Amino acid sequence: MSNTFKNIVLSAMILAFVVIVLGAYVRLTDAGLGCPDWPGCYGILLGVPTTEADIALANTDYERAVEVGKAWREMIHRYFAGVLGLLILAISILLIRKNQQGQRHVFSAVALAGLLLLQATLGMWTVTMQLKPLIVMGHLLGGFTLFNLLAWQWLRATSVMPQMESQQAGKLLNFSVLAIAVLFFQIALGGWVSSNYAALACTDFPTCQQQWWPSMDFSNGFIMWRGLGVDYEYGVLEHPARVAIHYTHRIGAIVALLVLGRYLHQLAKNSKQVPVLRNIARIGSLLLLVQIALGISNIYFKLPLAVAVAHNGVALLLLFSIVSSAYMLKSAKNNSNLSIS
């Protein structure tokens, strides 16, 4: 049961990573409305309109003309998400069974199933609300959260119990929570940049429009809700508002670099005798540097697709590394307290 459960969770993690990266690819290739309906595509549940007759009928029935390539990208993303949903439901059922055996897993089962339902709803609203930035950003954050909830279950199933003095583990654990919060907020800012098409609002680095403080409109850039019935494809904001969003994300990147860099340094410094934590610190530090390099490359090379997609994927792996360290520190602290008692 334990190995089977662990393998299912690991499979779900891998698939969740694929779904998140595919979602970024769909968004960055402007295919988020490749299918204007949900869950089908121009009324077709399996496949997309491809024949001349089907395309002509779809163009008559829907306001948005068929673009076969975009439609397929959107539907492939949905199919992968659907398989992931089935895996998560299986994991939730297994957790409930574990709970019936006296193990306290019902909260995890409810959390996974509830987040899955929320993600499906946000995926539908992304289409029906025509790429509303708040919904798109929420869908992104939901995906990242779901992946890390799965990761937490996988780490729990591995039963790794690192040894560390309780007080030291506790201090680092508190620091890890701060690091996770800062990184999660920065990811949210990245989602806001992408959903408002502000990635190229500044095309030079480290300045923006050859200025250290360009003209920016923060009041319009961060309006979370603009009502219904607006098509947000390609964005609706004026340039100064997009600059404000982009620039805020840059400032957030500096804060994240300082906080995460400090945390990972402290983690490496205080875990010389704990190989698993030392390795996480090294991997996290490498991912942090790669992520900064990808962010700068997005600006310098004008948002190449491969780099922009990688920026999403590395952000997820970076968050996973910090969450993994938090799990290990929590385990070390609990293990140390049990040993003392």
Under a CB-based contact definition with an 8 Å cutoff, are residues 178 and 273 in contact?
no
Distances (CA, A) of 269 to 161, 263, 331: 19, 10, 19
Under a CB-based contact definition with an 8 Å cutoff, are residues 135 and 129 in contact?
yes
pLDDT tens track, the chain, 341 positions? 478 899 999 999 999 999 999 999 999 999 999 999 999 999 999 999 999 999 999 999 998 999 999 999 999 999 999 999 999 999 999 998 877 665 677 888 999 999 999 999 999 999 999 999 999 999 999 999 999 999 999 999 887 778 888 889 899 999 999 999 999 999 999 999 999 999 999 999 999 999 999 999 999 999 999 888 888 999 999 999 999 999 999 999 999 999 999 999 999 999 888 899 999 999 999 999 999 999 999 999 999 999 999 999 999 999 999 999 999 999 888 876 545 44
Under a CB-based contact definition with an 8 Å cutoff, are residues 216 and 244 in contact?
yes
Distance from C-alpha of 146 to C-alpha of 158, rounded to nearest angstrom: 19
Q: How many CB atoms lie within 10 A of CB 188?
A: 17
Amino acid at 307: V
Amino acid at 249: H
Residue reference for tokens 């499979």: 11
Instruction: Catalogue the active-site residues.
Output: 74
- Structure tokens belonging to residue 340: 């003392």
CB-count exposure of residue 126 (10 Å: 0-12, 13-18, 19+)? buried
The secondary structure element, H or E, covering residue 66 is none
